[in-house]
Amino acid sequence: MGGDAPHDIRITNDNFYARVLTGGSLALGESYMEGWWETRDLDGFVFRLLTSRLDERVRSWRDAMAYVLAAIWNRQRPSRAFHVGQRHYDLGNDLYEAMLDRRMIYSCGYWESAETLDSAQEAKLDLVFRKLGIQRGQQVLDVGCGWGGALKYAAERYGAQGAGVTVSRKQAEWALNTLKGLPARILLQDYRTVNESFDHVYSIGMFEHVGLKNYRTYMQTIHRRLRPGGLFLLHTIGSPREDNHTDPWIERYIFPNSMVPSQRQISDAAEGLFLINGWQRIGSHYERTLLTWRDNFERHWPALRETRDERFYRMWRFYLSASAASFRARKLDVWQVLLSPTPA
């Protein structure tokens, strides 16, 4: 602290130390939002915090309470399905249009041979659809379709038809406009209420909102929606350690009712329903994606600030920077899991 390295922090409020020691990650993020500390390299600072395992040593009563509540209460039950849509995805399409690629894909890009965000997201979508082996005229279901970019790509490049499910009204409005003239529909509803069948199903960046108590129901729902011979591609952030809730700061300010699954939690939920045909790790690509989003956000901030304040700027910057650091430190990963229904 107070050093000359870019990742060193400068404290502007002496109450910072006591606040963070008693409040953990929630206090760290909130104190940054309130301007209690500064650094020239925000993701570098968080990376060093994570690799020194300070996040594991400094815990607050809120962490214990979050664990207990998640154990006894289904925070992602159907009656709360639209909560994350209202709190996060409905923040304003102008925000996401400024930050994301031209297809509005809000998940990890695939930078293997890509130099731009647009090409990295197209490469990721192509990776998904090649694994599924989608053929012209087949019906696909996109669980958590976002702004419809993946469905549009599937229709234009692979000749697929289908439907997308979202719990965000602003995403649905955007997607309906994006998909005009294409054989695709948008369903503004919870994934558990879909009652049609499809040749293939995929879900990109939505499983993080399902919750441990609903993993089995989620897999059962997908299983019922698949026609014979169909495949399911699950693209999700994953964690090397098991938990039942998310970081307290992320829960309060970014993704309410979210949690990141472990490998065993996914496998247990799929057991008896699906065979795992392939499991690819691409988490190393998310750091670059997040930092590109942050660059885009900062570049467009002069326009975005007309309807948002400085606290929002610091909150969003902390979210993107800390997330990038988490992937760099390998505290988080991204998995593409290809599943096929177990034989009858």
pLDDT tops 50 at residue 70 = no
In angstroms, the Cα distances linking 307 to 96, 99, 298, 311 are: 14, 16, 15, 12
**Segment 303-317, tens digit of pLDDT:** 999 999 999 999 999
The structure tokens listed for 228 are 């014979």
**Segment 142-183, tens digit of pLDDT:** 999 999 999 999 999 999 999 999 999 999 999 999 999 999
**Segment 220-276, tens digit of pLDDT:** 999 999 999 999 999 999 999 887 667 999 999 999 989 999 999 999 999 999 999
pLDDT tops 60 at residue 58 = no
pTM summary value: 0.92
| DSSP letters spanning 28-90 | HHHHHHTTSEEES-HHHHHHHHHHTTHHHH---HHHHHHHHHHHH--TT-GGGTTHHIIIIIT
The structure tokens listed for 9 are 């922090």
Say whether domain 9-341 belongs to CATH 3.40.50.150.
yes
pLDDT at 21: 87
Closest CA to 138 of 121, 167, 162, 119: 162
Query: If you average pLDDT over residues 119-135, what whole number do you get?
Result: 98
